[in-house]
Amino acid sequence: MKSDREKWDQRYSAEPNDIPAPDPFLVQHKNLLNTGRALDLACGRGGNAVFLAERGYRVDAVDISFVALSRLQAEADRKGLDIDCVVSDLDDFWLPESFYELVVVFYFFSESLVHGIKDTLKPGGLLFYSTFNLRHTSVQPGFNPDYLVEPEALGRYFTEFEILIHEPEAGEDRNISRFIGKRRAQ
């Protein structure tokens, strides 16, 4: 059986070398962005990381895939962007406390990371979270349900945040849950 790293390296090796466009949800709400230190968890090929770095963020881009991150780092170096790529399995990833002004997570969910995400944001920091919900199994029946959230779950996981946007059932198939929140001051 392949490890997660092997699976994702194989997938990204078969995809184009270019960096994809940032997620439309992030672009749509770019007016909420400022500058500072940002964390892009499960960044994949890095479209969101590049988008944030081009807007002045110093970005830590974390993913399990060496292939994806080597391509992202090459693009960041080519463009002179402030992106640090970190290869890590997010099941074992440690997040520093009160370190980031922005955390973005797109299409990855692990309940074990929720507490760390909350704590790694500085007071006033923003969280953009968009991931597949349980309806996704109707679109992709073989998808592992361990990585899906109940449609309302993001709002429940981040109750101590000031909720700016909460869309429990977004997308054409209503299989995406989206959340933007601001960490309240302690």
Q: What is the CATH number of the domain that holds 166?
A: 3.40.50.150
* Within-domain flag for 184: no
In a domain, residue 147? The reply is: yes
- 3-state secondary structure at position 160: coil
Give the predicted TM-score (pTM) of the model. Answer: 0.94
> Does some domain include residue 125?
yes
What is the C-alpha to C-alpha distance for residues 178 and 67, in angstroms, rounded to an integer? Answer: 28
- The yes-or-no verdict on residue 160 having pLDDT over 70 is yes
For the chain, what percent of residues have pLDDT higher than 70? Answer: 98
Report DSSP state, residue 146. G
Q: Dump pLDDT digits (tens) for 79-109.
A: 999 999 999 999 888 999 999 999 999 999 9
Query: Does 42 score more than 80 pLDDT?
Result: yes
Is residue 13 domain-resident?
no
Per the structure block, which two tokens stand in for 57?
Answer: 């963020």
Nearest C-alpha neighbor of 76 from the set 60, 63, 88, 87: 60
Domain of 82, in residue numbers:
36-130+137-177
- At position 18, the amino acid (one-letter code) is D
Torsion of CA 140, 43, 117, 83, to 10 degrees: -170
The number of distinct structural domains making up the chain is: 1
Short-list 94, 26, 91, CA closest to 64: 91
Q: Would the pLDDT of 67 be above 60?
A: yes
- Is the pLDDT score of 173 beyond 90? no
Residue 10 lies in a domain: no
Residue 21 lies in a domain: no
Helical spans, DSSP H, in the chain: 4-13, 24-28, 47-54, 66-79, 111-120, 136-139, 153-157
Could you tell me which residue, 17 or 51, shows the higher pLDDT? Answer: 51
Tokens of 6: 């092997």
**pLDDT score recorded for residue 7:** 87
Task: List the strands of the sheet with 57-63, edge to edge.
Answer: 83-87, 57-63, 36-41, 100-106, 121-132, 176-183, 161-170
Within a domain: 159: yes
Q: Is 2 part of any domain?
A: no
